[in-house]
A = this chain, B = another copy of it.
Amino acid sequence: MSSSRNASQACASCKYQRKKCDPHCPLAPFFPQHRRKDFMNVHKVFGVRNVLKLTKNLGHKEKSEAIKTLIYQADVRVKDPVGGCCRVISELQHRIKNLEAEYRLLLEQLAVCRAQKQAKAPVHKQQQF
């Protein structure tokens, strides 16, 4: 029995590099053949060598998470070569700034309403305090 996967089983990375995909292929668990697009984006943005270097000291779970995040970042960078994830971050920060401003406004409106409610309360009620 061969120790390498045959061509139809090779991972997206080995298939692209026309390499034998052996059972110890470090990218096979993360880039099965049907994730070719993910692999191509990651390869285009980071390069296979860098992905291997960046993840070599991580355990399987962390490596899996790291590769997921690299796939996301690569996809965003391919779609937005100038801004990449930074534009996503910037937009989210902008949304937070707006939400905080709206929140402060609502807080002021609530304070005004409470003050008016107190002022409108019948006199005998107010005198209890």
Contacts and interface: CB of A to CB of B under 8 A. Distances in A.
Interface in A83-129: 83-89, 92-93, 95-96, 99-100, 102-103, 106-107, 109-110, 113-114, 116-117, 120-122, 125
Interface residues of A, number: 49
Interface of A: 44-47, 49-50, 53-55, 57-58, 62, 65-66, 68-70, 72-73, 77, 81-89, 92-93, 95-96, 99-100, 102-103, 106-107, 109-110, 113-114, 116-117, 120-122, 125
Contacts of A54: 44-45, 77, 81
Contact of A95 (B68, B83, B85, B96): B96
Nearest to A100: B99
Given A66-B82, A99-B100, 4 more contacts: A62-B82, A85-B89, A102-B103, A110-B110
A58 to B, nearest CB: 7
Closest CB pairs A-B (n = 3): A69-B86, A85-B85, A92-B92
16 contacts: A45-B50, A46-B46, A50-B50, A54-B77, A72-B86, A73-B73, A73-B86, A85-B85, A85-B88, A89-B92, A96-B99, A99-B99, A102-B103, A106-B106, A106-B110, A122-B122
